[in-house]
């Protein structure tokens, strides 16, 4: 008789992605209706989401220590969990930088980034939900490709945003602040792609 796992790692992965999606949604709402005096409140709320996500990851690691035979290799469980956690961390980094730099208005490219990041998180959640069935799934690879494509859009947006900033801004402080902030926006897209690439690697190892 097969051993029944008391801890559902696949559900735990979905739960962790939910925290990423919540952080992305809150960040997007904050930037679209931007009020500088409300940034600190949003930052604190996103930090709470990130902290709760960390706790969920730690619970998974505790279960993994006790697990005799996890459904996928231990290092793969750890890698996927860390990569998902990196997405939430990257989203928190954006709001922290906006607060730290005391940004008073949001450039339009930042909102474009949020559209891409929201789409990345949506596709990522679908991919993670499908991951349970990775051995026979016909759609998991499509979601992974979607995330890769969206990350490519993020790269193009980053190039356009940086050029527009350096061509049209004459304020050295603005150039410095937004150059660094755009790096963190791009980092969110990269973090999502890292999860997708990790899923793809795990699928290949187990095929």
pLDDT in tens, 116-172: 999 999 999 999 999 999 988 889 999 999 999 999 999 999 999 999 999 999 999
Q: CATH fold of 9-205, please? A: Methane Monooxygenase Hydroxylase; Chain G, domain 1 (1.20.58)
Q: How far is CA 60 from the centre of its chain?
A: 18
| Tokens found for residue 165 | 């900033």
* pLDDT > 90 fraction of the chain, expressed in percent and rounded: 90
| Tokens found for residue 26 | 């809150």
pLDDT in tens, 72-89: 999 999 999 999 999 999
Q: Report the sign of the C-alpha dihedral through residues 140, 28, 17, 61, in that order.
A: positive
Per-domain boundaries in the chain: 9-205
């Amino acid at each position: 008789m097969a051993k029944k796992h008391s801890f559902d790692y696949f559900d735990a992965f979905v739960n962790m992605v939910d925290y990423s999606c919540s952080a992305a949604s809150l960040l997007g709402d904050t930037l679209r209706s931007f009020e500088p005096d409300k940034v600190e409140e949003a930052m604190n709320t996103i930090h709470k989401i990130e902290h709760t996500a960390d706790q969920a990851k730690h619970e998974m690691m505790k279960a993994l220590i006790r697990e005799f035979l996890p459904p996928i290799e231990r290092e793969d469980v750890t890698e996927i969990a860390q990569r998902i956690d990196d997405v939430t961390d990257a989203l928190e980094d954006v709001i922290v930088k906006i607060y730290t730099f005391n940004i008073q208005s949001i450039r339009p490219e930042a909102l474009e980034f949020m559209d891409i990041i929201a789409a990345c998180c949506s596709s990522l959640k679908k991919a993670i939900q499908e991951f349970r069935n990775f051995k026979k799934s016909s759609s998991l690879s499509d979601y992974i490709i979607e995330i890769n494509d969206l990350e490519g859009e993020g790269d193009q947006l980053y190039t356009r945003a940086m050029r527009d900033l350096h061509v049209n801004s004459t304020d050295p402080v603005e150039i410095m602040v937004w150059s660094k902030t755009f790096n963190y926006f791009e980092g969110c897209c990269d973090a999502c792609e890292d999860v997708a690439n990790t899923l793809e690697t795990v699928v290949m190892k187990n095929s």
